[in-house]
A and B are shown apart, each in its own frame.
Chain A
Amino acid sequence: MIKNMSLKNIAIVLFCIIYFFFNFIVFSIFNKSYVEKIRNDFLEQNKYSLDMAKNYIFQEVDNMTNFARQIADDQIVRYAFNKNEYISVSHDNIDNPIKILPLNKVAQVKMAADLKNRLFGWREGKIRRDINFYDRQLNRMISTGDIIERNYTPKYLMDAIGRGEIPGADLGIIELENNEIFLRGVVPIHRINRMGVVEVFENINSVLANEIKMAINREVIIKTNDRIVTSTLYSGTGLLENYKIEKGFITNKRDYNIIEIMDKNIIFHFQPLYNYTGEKIADIGVGFYSENIEKIYRETMKKIIISEILFSIFILVVIYLFMAFIFEHFDSIVQSIKNISEGEYEDKINISFGKELKILSGAVNTLSDAVRVRENELRDLNITLESKVEQRTSELEQSNNSLKTLLDNTGQGILFYGGNLLVDQNYSSECSRIFCKEIGNSSIDEILFKKERDREFFRESSISVLKEQNKRRRKAYLELLPTEIEINRYKLKIEYKIIEAEQNKIMLILTDLTEIKILEDKIKNERNRLDMIVRVVTNSYFFRKMVKDFNILIKKMENESKIDNLDNLLMEIHTFKGNFSQLRISGISSELNRFEDFIQSAYSLPKSILFIKVVERIKKIKEVLNAEIETIEGILGKNYFVENEGYFISGLEMDAIREEVNKAVNEENYAAIAAIFDKLKKASLAEIIKRYESYIYELANKKGKMVKIEVQELDKVYIDEAKYSLFINSLVHIFRNLVDHGIEYPEERAAIGKKEYGKIKCTVSKDGNKIQLYISDDGAGIDYKKIAEKGISEGWIAKEESENKSKLLELIFRERFSVKSESDEISGRGIGLSAVKKAVESYFGNVEVLSEQGKGTEFRIVIRDIN
């Protein structure tokens, strides 16, 4: 707070502090001597009165002494200089001080009374002016006239005589002579002196009272040997007050003393009083109340203080005005500086007072000029700079434009971004097309990706690329960035390059693959179609048969009553689906897949509704089938189904021919012909199996597995395809199963020491009238645990049976048994193996499964030769 105070105020405060402090010291020193001085002055003033008093006393004492001598000479009063002489005094009129009169009794008494008064009054504590004082006894004596000559010492005399204090006072004899009372006594000299002094005092009193009427509260004291003898107080009003001092203390031994009288401190200035012979009688002092001095002192001090204060105020005002004056100029300097800071340089300060202020104001003026000059310089420089900047900017724009032109001509989307992940303003126009907006200054991760996870990965990887010093690691990071992306339905290839300019940047090159992709898809579709055609051609018999059988199925389905057994229906559809897909007729197999889904969910529907829906779907299926056939016919010709390189003869017709031949030809020849007929009608089982090869390879490929298929023909087995069609068609399920569940992924196989290629072996053999087909793999074998789990969860087996392998193996042939949670076009519906079992059983055969975990599975199918 002190730091922010105005200098003026600080100066004033400092000044006040110093000033008063200084005064305080001076005053303390001054105080004492001043008081003393006042007193001394006072005493000096009153010394006059003291001297006067002294003089009077001496004078009067002298007078009295002379007078006393005179009286002594008159024989009435004997005045002696030593205390052993006596003197008798008489007078008859109290008002008339010491007068020599003839003594008469009354007068003597009176005188005695008076004498006593005067003499001893002070001893009694008060001075009485009792002129009517009588000793009663004496009065009686006088009044009765019964004066006897006797030694009667009145009491007062006895007092006078007998008291120890008055040595040698001896006044005792009252003599009556001729009716006159003679009073003889002795009065010691000092008493006389005292008496005289009292008298003188009275005179002094009156004198002094008259002369020093104006004195206030003065007192004159006579003291001997430090004892007060008498005192008289004078009051300012002129009234005389006599009072006795009860006690007085001499408090110090200097010229003056402070005596406490009646609770008042009185300062006395004493001087010794000597009698005629130079003998000191007493000290005489003039005293005055110290109160007076105090009062005067106080009053004087008051005056001093008041004048000091006034003086101080005056000084302060002067200082304040002076400072105000200085700081006024100060203000003008401040104002000038403010002007400079605001850009006004014209007003110059002109201060005429004070060296320091002048210097300061001069400096400020110089500053003002200097700043103006600098400002102008700056302005010029700024103009130059701006024109340079303009020039550079236009140069930059030009080069940017060239760059842009370059970029735009590449036909690719090219953009740059740096560590802040914002796209640079220079990018090719292709980018605007791809992103459907201007992307300058956008965040690269936001425009490329929608998911926060992808954005984060892109951001972090980009930053790692830019920060990485090691070239190899940088390249590795770069490889992590995605190379394909779809934006606004454009399929794009992304390439990255690192630009090492002053700051590292990444160049992104986007190439639109959409066209290419469309082309690729087209090619793929074409290829598939071709594939389909090829297969249809190579398996033309199979194909035509399949179509025929399928049409029969459709017809069946159109008959409501045949939809009773949905399970059977499902199985048949499933099988057809597999077979169509084997021939690459994907349209129909997908449609059938959808149909399968529908049926699986349709179990709960009431028959009427079910039938309606089935009819709808059949319609669709027929459409699809027809479309496929059209496609095929489109390539192979409308009459493909009719015309062929070969003849199409139905089995019935064949049988008919055979009969005829049999009739026509004799038995030996017939055998050879019969064999040919047989051959025509039949196919070798091994060949049939081989047909599955490409399908299986395809399947495996799709799954990412590698297989090798081996068909081993131990015996030549020919079967009538037509008769065994159900069986043959169902084999697809086994192969699917093996590929799906059995064969492991190449890495897995490699990890356990197997060759990456899973081997599927099909062995065809004959035993009597039994045809044996063993299909095995060297895969993972059946997962008994999974089967057990599924079995328990579905309630097909009890928990105790979970270790029973044979029981578990039975389960896999159950309808709707599948350990897969999802079904797809290939498997998972739980239909396949049950279809196999059914098929096999319809040929009075059976299927056995052997499996060892980790080693493989073998399906052993035995069917009867029904030729």
Chain B
Amino acid sequence: MKKIMLVDDSYFLRESLKRIIPKDKYIIVGEADNGLEALEKFRELLPDYVTLDIAMPDMDGLTALKEMLAIKADTKIIMCSAMGQRPILKEALDAGALDFIIKPFEESKVVELLNEIFEE
């Protein structure tokens, strides 16, 4: 069982993810709706996986990503972004993110992704 934390400023999205995350593999240890809160909780919880939205108030996803990886470099972080944010996604991958999903996402694809990542 791996620890996962959900970070997105959209309540709706977090709820959606919560619904579809495979419960036999992941425990949702925390949620955050902005970058700063996310970092605080990250330091506390030190999850293995994080879903991380890009556009957030207080601290955007890219900065949060870098900070998180600085704290625990082997964290597997999946970026969530709306359409048309390719350059930022590339930056995120360069900075150490593992993969990304594009909103609105297809539930089946996200489940598949999470299952695959768990195995790796």
A820 at the interface (CB under 8 A from B): no
Given the complex, which residues of B lie within 8 Å of A472, measured CB to CB?
Answer: 98-99, 116-117, 120
A749 to B12 Cα, complex, angstroms: 9
- Nearest CB to that of B82 among chain A residues? A747
Within 8 Å of chain A (Cβ to Cβ): is B103? Answer: yes
Q: How far is the CA of A477 from the CA of B100 in the complex (A)?
A: 9
Q: Decide if B98 touches A464 in the complex (CB within 8 Å).
A: no
Contact B99 A476 (CB under 8 A): yes
| B93/A457 in contact, CB under 8 A | no
Asked whether any CB of chain A lies closer than 8 Å to the CB of B11, the reply is yes
B97-111 residues at the A interface, CB under 8 angstroms = 97-100, 103
Contact status of A464 and B93, CB under 8 A, knowing A472-B98, A472-B117, A476-B98: yes
B90 lies within 8 A of A751 (CB): no
Least Cβ–Cβ distance between B87 and chain A, in angstroms: 6
In terms of DSSP, what is the predominant structure of the interface of chain A?
Answer: helix
Contact with B along A424-468 (1 / 0, CB 8 A): 000000000000000000000000000000000100110010000
- CB-based contact B12/A751 at 8 Å: yes
Kindly state whether residue B86 has any CB partner on chain A within 8 Å. yes
Q: Which residue of B lies closest to A475 (CB)?
A: B99
Chain B contact residues, majority secondary structure = helix
B94 touches A751 (CB 8 A): no
Q: How many residues of B contact A (CB 8 A)?
A: 20
In contact, B87 and A747 (Cβ under 8 angstroms): no
| Contact, CB under 8 Å: A476 / B86 | no
Cβ of B13 within 8 Å of any chain A Cβ, yes or no, is: yes
**Which residues of chain A come closer than 8 Å to B82, judged between CB atoms?**
747
Q: Counting CB contacts under 8 A, is B38 at the interface?
A: no
Q: Chain A residues with Cβ under 8 A from B117's Cβ? A: 472
B66 CB to nearest A CB, Å: 16
B89 interface residue (CB < 8 Å to A): yes
Residues in chain A near residue B115, CB distance under 8 A: none
- B4-18 contact mask (Cβ, 8 Å, vs A): 1 or 0: 000001111100000
A457–B10 CB distance below 8 A: no
On chain A, the number of residues with a Cβ less than 8 Å from chain B's Cβ atoms is 19
A750 pairs with B90, CB closer than 8 A: no
- Does A457 lie within 8 Å of B98, measured CB to CB? no
Q: Which residue of B lies closest to A476 (CB)?
A: B99
A480 within 8 A of B: yes
Q: Are B99 and A747 in contact (CB under 8 A)?
A: no
A201 to B90, CA, bound (A): 134
Q: How many angstroms between the C-alpha atoms of A480 and B83 in the bound complex?
A: 11
B93 lies within 8 A of A476 (CB)? yes
**In the complex, are the beta carbons of B10 and A476 less than 8 A apart?**
no
Knowing A472-B120, A480-B86 are in contact, say whether A751-B10 is a contact too (CB < 8 A). Answer: yes
Given contacts A476-B93, A480-B86, 12 further A-B contacts (CB under 8 A): A457-B87, A460-B90, A464-B90, A464-B94, A476-B89, A476-B100, A477-B90, A479-B100, A480-B93, A749-B12, A750-B10, A750-B12
Please name 28 pairs of A and B residues whose Cβ atoms are closer than 8 Å in the assembled complex, sorted by A: A457-B87, A457-B90, A460-B90, A464-B90, A470-B98, A471-B120, A472-B99, A472-B120, A473-B93, A473-B98, A473-B99, A476-B89, A476-B97, A476-B98, A476-B99, A477-B90, A477-B93, A480-B89, A480-B90, A747-B10, A747-B13, A747-B103, A750-B11, A750-B12, A751-B10, A751-B11, A751-B12, A753-B11
